[in-house]
Amino acid sequence: MARLIITKTPKVYVGGAFIRSESGRTFPLKDSLGAFVGHVPQCTRKDLRNAVEAAARAGVGWARRTAFNRSQILYRLAEMMEARATELAETIMLGGTAAAAAKAEVSASVDRLIYYAGWADKFEQVLGNVNPVSGPYFNFTVTEPMGVIGLIAPHEAPLLALVSLFAPAIVSGNAVVALASEAQPYPAIILGEMLATSDLPGGVVNLLTGYRKELLPTFATHQHFRGIGGVANADERKLLQSGAAESIKRVKLTPAEDHFDWMADAAQSLYAIRDWLEFKTTWHPIGS
């Protein structure tokens, strides 16, 4: 007897759960040849609001974890992705990427996580400092995570760019709400399943799919985001910057026109971790 084909319902990973949009809306996802793949959640500003609430709840505990523990969990996420590398490559190929290039993107994504996992208990030594002062004091500069960070993934490199954006944010204890590639959302949907099995507490990384036009205004104005990063074109940058100015949040955007090469060495850096840190300087008397 012929078997019915069981297809997967694409759902987004928010607050440790796989959800549909609260609106019930979806948009049809097609592969590069125009064949139907699935209905992807068309998330709304209310989904974004809920995701920020989830991130804020999860962020507190995540920031309190030891750096070493965060390192292990990022490494674990890389392990989860490595085990399903073929599946991830297939999701990238839906967008028309050739098999070899898709495979290379998955490998680069896994390696990127390993790279940032390694930094987890080391960035503080490099970015923090004991400052020389002319008085009987120790003067320390230490880093702290900022809180909830909003990230906008570019259309291209749907897996690698997303990983390259959120890994440096969470490694220091921030929580993230990320908007997946609008053109190729499917890798983010599958990535959610790996996040869910990686020991990463639910809510630390929240992935939304949907239209940039609908969601970017809320990313810009939501007061609870402490920072906004990712890739945006000129109009979007203006929108995000003016909204961020109103709500006083840090903005680190890469111009979409630059077609940033996410495979390049420059795409991973200690400074990407620094982007989402606050620096706190404390004075402490040395005593006699």
Burial of residue 51 (number of CB atoms within 10 Å: 0-12, 13-18, 19+): buried
Q: Which one among 21, 174, 181, 218 touches another protein, defined by CB under 8 A?
A: 218
Q: Give the nearest distance from C-beta 60 to another protein in angstroms.
A: 12
Nearer to another protein, 161 or 228 (CB): 228
Among 17, 37, 56, 85, binds another protein (CB under 8 A): 56
Whose Cβ is closer to another protein: residue 53's or residue 111's?
53
Q: Output 92 or 148, the one with its CB closest to another protein.
A: 148
User: Does residue number 246 form part of the binding site for another protein (CB under 8 A)?
Assistant: yes
Helix (H, G, I), strand (E, B) or coil at 118: helix
CA–CA dist 41, 45 (Å, integer): 13
Separation of alpha carbons 246 and 249, rounded Å: 8
Nearer to another protein, 150 or 168 (CB): 150
Q: Cβ 248 to another protein, closest distance in Å?
A: 11
Q: Cα separation of 10 and 13, whole Å?
A: 10
Q: Would you say 150 or 187 has its CB closer to another protein?
A: 150
269 part of the interface to another protein, by CB under 8 A: no
Burial class for 265, CB neighbours closer than 10 Å (0-12, 13-18, 19+) = exposed
User: Which residue in 11, 25, 49, 274 binds another protein (CB under 8 A)?
Assistant: 49
Nearer to another protein by Cβ, of 49 and 274: the residue is 49
Provide the minimum distance between the beta carbon of 147 and another protein in the complex, in angstroms, as a whole number: 9
From 263, 256, 231, select the one nearest 102 (Cα to Cα): 263
The residue among 56 and 270 lying less far from another protein, judged by its C-beta, is 56
Can you tell me which residue has the tokens 């991973």? 268
**Least Cβ distance, residue 224 to another protein (angstroms):** 4
Q: Classify residue 182 as exposed, middle or buried by CB count within 10 Å of its CB (0-12, 13-18, 19+).
A: buried
In the chain the first and final C-alpha atoms are separated, in Å, by 88
Residues 221-240 that bind another protein (CB under 8 A): 221-224
Interface with another protein (CB under 8 A), residue total 11
Nearest distance in Å: CB 107, another protein: 38
Distance CA 146, CA 206 (A): 16
Which among 153-161, 189-197, 218-226, 269-277 is the span making contact with another protein, rule CB under 8 A? Answer: 218-226
The number of angstroms, rounded, from the C-alpha of 134 to the middle of its chain's C-alpha atoms is 42
- C-beta neighbour count of 60 within 10 angstroms: 11
User: Which stretches of the chain bind another protein, using CB under 8 A?
Assistant: 49, 52, 56, 218, 221-224, 243, 246-247
